[in-house]
Every structure is written in C-alpha cells, then in structure tokens.
Structure 1
Amino acid sequence: MDLILYPPFAFILSLITVYLFSALFSGFAPKPAPNPEKTKTYACGEDFETEKVIPNYEEFYPFAIFFTILHVAGLMLATWAIAGSASFVLPLGYVAAVALILTILFIR
C-alpha cells in the first residue's frame, strides 16, 4: 500500500490511467472534417496574402544567458550561505567570475 502513495509511482500510475481513458474514449469523439477556411488568416474581414516571418533571436540570447547566470549564481551563493563551512574566499571568487562573465557578455 505504501508503494501506491510513493510520489513517482503515483505520478506514473496517474499518467497511465489518463492515457488509458484517452485511448478508450477517443473513439466517441467526432472526427474533424477538413476545412480550408479554418486555417485561413483573418484580419477584420479582409483577405491578404500570408508571408512567412523569420524570428530573430539575436537580442534574446544575451538576456537569457544573463538571467540564467544570475540565477545559478544566486543558487550557489545561497547554498554556500546555508552550508556555513565554506570560507569567504570561495563565494568571493565565484562572484568575481560571474562579474567577469557578465562583463564579457555585454561588451560589444
């Protein structure tokens, strides 16, 4: 009985249950009819040609890396603060390394 209450086992059991119910009742769902009007672009009733947009992520990546580095730095410093056995030099060196990485990241 304790195995059923074990969180990973309960999660996997619930996934299997949902999958089985989905497979069982999917036959009752109506089949969609293909309709080209569903995929047509709508803009205030006007027809216009769609064109492919290629997104540019060049400005996003530096901020994503910045966000990741700061969160990892905060996690490491909080872990060292809780541990208490670490000397003052190790977190200070880590902060200096993070500052150097962020400086290199944003110099253009």
Structure 2
Amino acid sequence: MFFPHLTAVEALKPYCVRTHWHTGEVLEVDLETRLRRYSALAPILDPTVFARVHLGEWGNSIEWLDNEFGADNVYAWAKEQRGEVSQNEIRQDAHLVTLLRKVATDDH
C-alpha cells in the first residue's frame, strides 16, 4: 500500500497550500471546503492562522494550532482536484464493487 509523506508545505492564498512529497511531486490543494465543513476548524479560516501551516511529525500531516489533516488525505485531495484518480477513490470503488457483489449473490 502507498503511504505518501510530506517534505514541505507552504500556504499560498487562503485556503490553498503547496505541498512537496517524498515522490518529488509538488501539488497544490484547496482546503476551503474541508475547513468550512467543521466548526472546530473555524479558527484556521483566519488568514493569519492559515498562513502558519506547518508539517506534522515525520511528514505525516499538515498542522495548524491543535488541528491536522493526514498526509494521505491531503495527497488524495490534491490528486482529485487535479482530475486524477486517487488511492482513496480506488479503495472506495473497490469497496463498492465488493458490496454490489454481495448484494447480487444474496439475491440469488
């Protein structure tokens, strides 16, 4: 299984970050929708706070204050926003196929 880890992160404009990965990839990701989804993340919507994004331990996350997004999710979101298929989408599709097969065999 592929586990991406970050080597650097920088805030661009609110609420986008540029991420650098151990694969050599440099990906930008817009986090606004995710930040607005949960009230606990509201403090990060302050542009001054957002600009303080930094790497979590071992490059396994990006962090602000006491909040973080896991590197695997950030990587998947960046890929999806570029129109690429992410590992998360592949796993979700595989899970859906498994469920559909189960339903099909249970019906017969």
**Shorter-chain TM band:** under 0.3
The structure where strand makes up a greater share of residues is 2
TM-score (norm 1): 0.23
TM-score (norm 2): 0.23
The structure where helix makes up a greater share of residues is 1
Q: Rg: which structure is higher?
A: 1
Question: Higher relative contact order at CA 8 Å, sep ≥6: structure 1 or structure 2?
Answer: 2
